[in-house]
A = this chain, B = another copy of it.
Amino acid sequence: MKFKVAILGTGNVAWHLAPALEEAGHTVTEVYGRDLSKVQQVTKRLYTTEAKTDLDFSDSEAEIFILAVSDQAISELADEVILPEDGILVHTSGAVSLDILGYSSASYTGIFYPLQTFSKDREINFEDVPFLLESEDGTTLQKLKKLAKSLSPMQYILKSKDRMALHIAAVFASNFSNHMLRLAEEIMARKGLDYEMLKPLIIETISKSLELGAKKAQTGPAIRSDFNTLDAHYQFLNYNAQVAEIYRLISQDIIDSY
Asked if A187 lies at the interface with its beta carbon under 8 angstroms from chain B, I say yes
Beta-carbon contact of A177 and B200 below 8 Å: no
17 inter-chain pairs at a CB distance below 8 angstroms, sorted by A residue, are A122-B211, A156-B197, A162-B191, A164-B236, A169-B198, A171-B222, A172-B181, A173-B201, A175-B220, A178-B209, A179-B214, A179-B250, A184-B214, A185-B214, A242-B249, A246-B249, A246-B250
Q: In chain A, residues 117-167, which have Cβ atoms closer than 8 Å to a Cβ of chain B?
A: 117-119, 121-122, 124, 128-130, 132, 154, 156, 158, 162, 164-167
Asked if A206 lies at the interface with its beta carbon under 8 angstroms from chain B, I say yes
Quote the shortest CB–CB distance from A144 to chain B (angstroms). Answer: 17
Set of chain B residues within 8 Å of A203, measured between Cβ atoms: 128, 206, 210
Beta-carbon contact of B71 and A221 below 8 Å: yes
Asked if A199 lies at the interface with its beta carbon under 8 angstroms from chain B, I say yes
Beta-carbon contact of A212 and B162 below 8 Å: no
Stretch at the interface among A25-33, A77-85, A227-235: A227-235
Quote the shortest CB–CB distance from A176 to chain B (angstroms). Answer: 4
Q: Which of these, B96, B165, B174, B212, contacts A119 with CB under 8 Å?
A: B212
Set of chain B residues within 8 Å of A156, measured between Cβ atoms: 197
